[in-house]
Amino acid sequence: MKPTLFALAALLFLSSAQAADERRTTAADQTALAVTIYNGDLALVKDARRVKLSGGDNLLAWREVSARMQPETALLRSTDGLKLQLLEQNFDFDLLTPATLLEKSVGETVRVVRAQPVTGVEYAEQATVLAANEGVVLRFPDRVETSIPGRIAFSGVPADLRDQPTLSMLFKTDAQPTSVYQGAAEHGLELSYLTGGLTWKADYVAELSAKEEDIDLNGWVTLTNTSGASYRNARLQVVAGTVNRAPAEHRAAPAMMKNMAMAEAAPQMQEENLFEYHLYTLNRNTTLADKQTKQVALLSAQKVAVDKEFRLVGGDWYYNGQYGDLGKQLKPSVFMQFANKDENGLGIPLPKGVVRVYKKDSAGRAQFIGEDRIEHTARGEMVKLKLGEAFDITADKKQTDFQRLAAGYNTRGGVIESGYQMEIRNAKREPVVVTVVENVPGEWQMLQESLPSKRESAASAVWQVPVPAEGKTVLTWRVRIKY
């Protein structure tokens, strides 16, 4: 028998012996599969299968589980009333590869097969594997070699090496023997466990109308699977919210190794409350393969009314000293906001994610105009997106007066009066309104202003400044501050 055939025969013999000691169940036995994915690299897998069991002790190898599973969270239960008493379980994630097979063979005798350089006839020598860390070290009867001079034939595969991530469980049952399965009968089992390697996030695509009065909004759930397992024909759910988790102890983890579409997303996920979170369920089964990113439709809403805002925000540092120019050609930020309400075509909890906004040009081609990240947004809340900075609107700001009416501690603070001027220019062919926000420190009182302000908070004054088309507006104010 050639050495390669000998090694194959030995492997088949070992597999047969192992199968006699344990029963194996694979994804082919599945009757149902459900995956719930949480924020923060966490998922709950519920895997239901029909498995042959006998009365008394059963050693069951549950194959094709996640390589990132947390074995301490595994829960096995019967779906047809069978009593189970779990005695032991082992999670085998050290997978069979040429490297791991060699590492597990340190101290063992192997056959090194090589060919005569002239005749090509193969022959074999026995050698002992001394090391397999940064290379292989082999001891032959008359020498030691630090490389593989041929190919290695192993007598078998170690029992603790699996070709797939496997959870092996030893448990007792009260199953009754049947003649049909020679002492074993099929029973329904469900294995549930928590795992890493499954993540989700929400992505939104918004198309702004030509008049910039409303948007068409499509929402997508983007799923990524790096768990080391595939989930075929699974019932998929995602949970939006922050689930508290106990701090993990440090331990070594097993090594593991989009395009946006403007098409309308058909609403495919049902939303419901779950404790203090929100649960979204896909209304059809789907397959999430290992090392795959998939998008499924979350929501679709048309003509969602939006407001656009130009916003200039100032600091508080220049209110306690004497300065000149405070900024030339300042650019206001451009915001777009909409209400998450039923009457606005929405009114569902929006999971956190990135909203990307497009607008069609004069030729009807959609162009990207900005994006922003939103947090989890409840019904009735406002969504505010910063899209960029205005090109055609600029502002110059300066301090026009400064007086210290009363000294403070260490020549700082006290009572101060200061005046300011901001000139806002608009190069657009239509008028605009610019929101100016000044963050004022201390106890302050507005003494003079060219436009009425609103005290938005204890530390901010806000003006709505109209600027004519291709024109300018000068805003002035004087404030007294007590530190």
- State how far the Cα of 309 lies from the Cα of 435, in Å rounded to an integer: 7
> What Å distances lie between residue 404 and 325, 412, 438, CA to CA?
19, 9, 20
19 pLDDT above the threshold of 80: no
pLDDT at residue number 245: 80
Question: How high is the mean pLDDT of the chain?
Answer: 87
Per DSSP, the residues of 436-474 read: EEEE--SEEEEEEESS--EEEETTEEEEEEEE-TTEEEE
pLDDT at residue number 4: 43
What does the pLDDT average to over 207-215? 95
Spatial CA neighbour of 368 closest among 351, 353, 355? 355
What does the pLDDT average to over 109-138? 87
* Lookup: tokens for 6: 């000998």
pLDDT at residue number 157: 77
Q: In what order do the strands lie in the sheet with 198-208?
A: 292-305, 214-225, 198-208, 353-360, 366-374
* Lookup: tokens for 29: 């036995």
pLDDT at residue number 463: 98
The answer to whether 105 and 196 have CB atoms below 8 angstroms apart is no
The answer to whether 336 and 306 have CB atoms below 8 angstroms apart is yes
pLDDT at residue number 252: 46
- How is domain 308-332+390-483 classified at the CATH fold level? Immunoglobulin-like (2.60.40)
Q: How confident is the model at residue 94 (pLDDT cuts 50, 70, 90)?
A: low
- State how far the Cα of 113 lies from the Cα of 126, in Å rounded to an integer: 9
pLDDT in tens, 421-477: 999 999 999 999 999 999 999 999 999 999 999 999 999 999 999 999 999 999 999
Indicate the DSSP class of residue 32: E
Domain boundaries along the sequence of the chain: 3-95+162-195, 98-153, 308-332+390-483
Q: How confident is the model at residue 216 (pLDDT cuts 50, 70, 90)?
A: very high
48 pLDDT above the threshold of 90: yes
3-class DSSP string for 213-282? CEEEEEEEEEEEECCCCCEEEEEEEEEECCCCCCCCCCCCCCCCCCCCCCCCCCCCEEEEEECCEEEEEE
Which position has the higher pLDDT, 367 or 165? 367
Out of 114-118, 356-360, 390-394, 414-418, pick the least confident: 114-118
The answer to whether 165 and 93 have CB atoms below 8 angstroms apart is yes
Among all chains, which residue has been given the structure tokens 């806000």?
462
The answer to whether 466 and 433 have CB atoms below 8 angstroms apart is yes
Out of 100-114, 188-202, 336-350, pick the least confident: 100-114
* Lookup: tokens for 260: 């946006």
* Lookup: tokens for 456: 């938005």
Q: Between β-strands 325-330 and 443-449, what pairing exists: parallel, antiparallel or unpaired? A: unpaired
What does the pLDDT average to over 202-231? 95
> What's the whole-model pTM score?
0.74
54 pLDDT above the threshold of 60: yes
Per DSSP, the residues of 164-194 read: S-EEEEEEEE-PPP-TTTTT-EEEEEEEEEE
264 pLDDT above the threshold of 80: no
Phi, psi of 299 (to 5 degrees): -160, 165
The answer to whether 166 and 61 have CB atoms below 8 angstroms apart is yes
pLDDT at residue number 411: 59
143 pLDDT above the threshold of 50: yes
pLDDT at residue number 246: 80
Q: How confident is the model at residue 15 (pLDDT cuts 50, 70, 90)?
A: very low
> What Å distances lie between residue 291 and 167, 199, 288, 294, CA to CA?
21, 12, 9, 10
Count the residues in the chain: 483
- State how far the Cα of 193 lies from the Cα of 18, in Å rounded to an integer: 25
pLDDT at residue number 268: 62
- State how far the Cα of 437 lies from the Cα of 472, in Å rounded to an integer: 18
Percentage of residues in the chain with pLDDT exceeding 70?
Answer: 87
Name, in order, each residue with C-beta under 8 angstroms of 465's C-beta and a sequence gap of 6 or more.
Answer: 424, 433, 434, 435, 436, 451, 473, 475
Please give the distance of CA 316 from its chain centroid, rounded to a whole number.
38
What does the pLDDT average to over 128-137? 87
